[in-house]
């Protein structure tokens, strides 16, 4: 399934309800979506090849499969050891979630088929094609995407301008949340900054905490600014240390996580 079509795993039943059995292929979630696909695949292969030969690393850039990948080995024993030791490893700042894939990848089918590997692979692909229409009809995400396309066609606008219901709801909820309850972010939002405060003084203050990227002031608005760190843990540390910090004139700045 993985080398040619990964749609089945995206609709997997939650792990607590249905855990796939041992497999030569691992299903990896929660990968950093900001990392370019070739770099991500190279990193995964380098990491997992320490446990045995990696037959294939499959990842796609489409919206439905972002942040996910499949890594295949020669045996389920190797896959199991890799899963046990790598699950939770923070690759590019995000802890990977790893389970067994629901079915064998093309590369595994070919490998296990030995001399008849090509024949086994062709049979495997044929079986997958037979199941594909059923799988797609059950794909909720695909149906939502089709609804967006139909709506865009009806009103004559680009598909990208039609926001999905889930994204729209998440945005509304985020905008309704008080600053104190926003989720952690590497980008901080500063408020109540004294008008006499310079960008350099903010740079000095927030530079006391690791991995500062930049301080961005807003032209015409001296009372607010943004401070960006290279990762979320650094942003959390800086926010906890500086929220309520008393400036030289006694005024306390408010530091919250930026809204998505």
Q: What pLDDT digit, counting tens, does each position of 162-184 carry?
A: 555 445 444 544 444 566 667 88
The answer to whether the pTM exceeds 0.75 is: no
The Cα 159–Cα 165 span in angstroms is 13
Q: How would you classify residue 147: left for phi > 0, otherwise alpha for psi between -120 and 50, otherwise beta?
A: alpha
What pLDDT sits at residue 99? 92
Q: Tell which residue, 190, 185, 193, has the closest CA to residue 237.
A: 185
* Of the listed ranges 88-97, 175-184, 193-202, 241-250, the one predicted with least confidence: 175-184
The DSSP string of 58-94 is: E---SGGGTT-EEEEES-HHHHHHHHHHHTT-EETTE
- Stretch 58-63: mean pLDDT, rounded? 81
pLDDT at 20 over 60: yes
Mean pLDDT across the chain: 78
The Cα 195–Cα 39 span in angstroms is 44
pLDDT at 148 over 50: yes
Q: Could you tell me the pLDDT band of residue 197, with boundaries at 50, 70 and 90? A: very high
List the domains of the chain with CATH numbers: 7-141 (3.30.70.330), 179-257 (3.30.70.330)
Contact 184, 236 (CB under 8 A): yes
* Of the listed ranges 18-22, 65-69, 118-122, 198-202, the one predicted with least confidence: 118-122
Q: Could you tell me the pLDDT band of residue 11, with boundaries at 50, 70 and 90? A: very low
What pLDDT sits at residue 132? 57
């Amino acid at each position: 399934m993985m080398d040619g079509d990964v749609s089945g795993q995206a609709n997997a039943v939650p792990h607590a309800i249905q855990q796939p059995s041992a497999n030569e292929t691992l299903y990896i979630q929660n990968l950093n979506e900001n990392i370019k696909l070739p770099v991500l695949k190279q990193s995964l292969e380098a990491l997992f090849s320490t446990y045995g030969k990696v037959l294939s690393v499959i990842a796609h850039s489409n919206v439905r499969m972002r942040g996910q990948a499949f890594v295949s080995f020669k045996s389920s024993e190797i896959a199991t050891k890799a899963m046990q030791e790598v699950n939770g490893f923070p690759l590019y700042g995000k802890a990977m979630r790893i389970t067994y894939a629901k079915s064998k990848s093309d590369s595994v089918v070919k490998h296990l088929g030995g001399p008849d590997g090509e024949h086994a692979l062709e049979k495997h692909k044929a079986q997958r094609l037979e199941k594909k229409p059923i799988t797609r009809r059950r794909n909720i995400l695909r149906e939502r995407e089709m609804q967006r396309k139909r709506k865009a066609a009806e009103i004559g606008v680009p598909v990208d301008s039609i926001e999905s219901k889930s994204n729209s709801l998440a945005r509304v909820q985020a905008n309704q949340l008080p600053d104190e309850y926003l989720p952690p972010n590497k980008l901080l939002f500063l408020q109540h900054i004294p008008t006499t405060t310079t960008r350099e003084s903010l740079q000095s203050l927030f530079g006391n905490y690791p991995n500062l990227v930049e301080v961005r002031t807003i032209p015409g608005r001296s009372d607010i600014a943004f401070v960006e760190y290279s990762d979320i843990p650094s942003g959390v540390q800086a926010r906890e240390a500086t929220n309520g910090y008393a400036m030289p004139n006694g005024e306390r700045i408010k530091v919250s996580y930026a809204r998505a």
